[in-house]
Amino acid sequence: MEGKINDSAMREIIGTSVKDGGAMNELTVFQMVMTPETGMLSLRVIGGEGWTQIDLNAYLRD
CB < 8 Å & 24+ apart, contacts of 48-54: 51/11
Q: Residue 62: what pLDDT?
A: 62
What does the mean pLDDT of the chain come to?
A: 90
- 33 burial type by CB count under 10 A (0-12 exposed, 13-18 middle, 19+ buried): buried
pTM of the model: 0.78
pLDDT > 60? residue 21: yes
Residue 2 pLDDT class (50, 70, 90 cuts)? low
pLDDT > 90? residue 1: no
What is the distance between the alpha carbons of residues 26 and 34, in angstroms, rounded to a whole number? 23
Q: Per-residue pLDDT averaged across 19-47, rounded?
A: 93
